């Protein structure tokens, strides 16, 4: 094997430790600062400026987050602002629906019944225009997010956990449940 003199040079060169270099640099800066008070003052002011810039960036980020959160909360408040009014109207609609069902059993051709049906339809249309929709529950799989089971009943026609009867209609406003549907669920 042939020996190269350059390999010996590589081995003999000392390696520089960067930690030692950084310490020497810091010591040199301290010595210069001690010797020159104006330079020390400049370094102190530069550090203060850097600290203030960081603080300003943090405040700017916090302000932007506050703006976004406020906009999101305002949009949510607007979207769900009718929730209380709708909760107050739903029992009225339930009573209208019961009155219609009773009247249909007595005299389905009664003109007064036709008027009550139209009023009920106006209520439903007004709710739909305001993004309030009836939960479609009948013969659907039971979903505890939208349905409240009030009873169980066997059925040969439908599988377990299917809504067999809707006792009270449920409604959603946008993507929130205003009132869950009260249902009877199949349990064989």
Q: What is the pLDDT of residues 144-181, one digit of tens each?
A: 999 999 999 999 999 999 999 999 999 999 889 999 99
pLDDT reported for residue 38: 85
- Segments of the chain assigned E as strands: 132-134, 147-153, 163-168, 171-173, 176-179, 181-186
pLDDT reported for residue 4: 56
Q: What is the largest CA-CA distance in the chain?
A: 117
pTM comes to 0.64
Question: What would the pLDDT profile of 85-121 be if each residue is shown by its tens digit?
Answer: 999 999 999 999 999 999 999 887 888 899 999 999 9
Q: Over pLDDT 90: what percentage of the chain?
A: 66
What angle in degrees, to the nearest 10, is found between the helix axes of 83-106 and 111-129? 160
Which of left, alpha, beta for 84 (phi over 0: left; psi -120 to 50: alpha)? Answer: alpha
26: pLDDT confidence band, cut at 50, 70 and 90?
A: low
pLDDT reported for residue 54: 95
Residue 47 reports pLDDT greater than 60: yes
């Amino acid at each position: 094997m042939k020996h190269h003199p350059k390999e010996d040079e590589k081995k003999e060169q000392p390696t520089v430790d960067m930690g030692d270099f950084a310490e020497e640099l810091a010591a040199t800066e301290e010595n210069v600062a001690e010797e020159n008070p104006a330079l020390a003052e400049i370094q102190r002011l530069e550090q203060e400026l850097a600290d203030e810039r960081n603080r300003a960036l943090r405040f700017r980020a916090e302000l932007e987050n506050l703006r976004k959160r406020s906009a999101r909360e305002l949009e949510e408040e607007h979207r769900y602002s009718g929730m209380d009014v709708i909760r107050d109207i739903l029992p009225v609609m339930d009573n209208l629906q019961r009155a219609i069902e009773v009247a249909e059993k007595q005299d389905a051709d009664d003109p007064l019944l036709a008027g009550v049906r139209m009023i009920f339809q106006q209520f439903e249309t007004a709710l739909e225009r305001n993004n309030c929709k009836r939960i479609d529950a009948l013969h659907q799989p039971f979903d505890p997010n939208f349905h409240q089971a009030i009873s169980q009943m066997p059925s040969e026609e439908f599988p377990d956990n299917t809504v067999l009867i809707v006792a009270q209609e449920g409604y959603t406003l946008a993507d929130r449940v205003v009132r869950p549907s009260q249902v009877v669920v199949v349990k064989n």
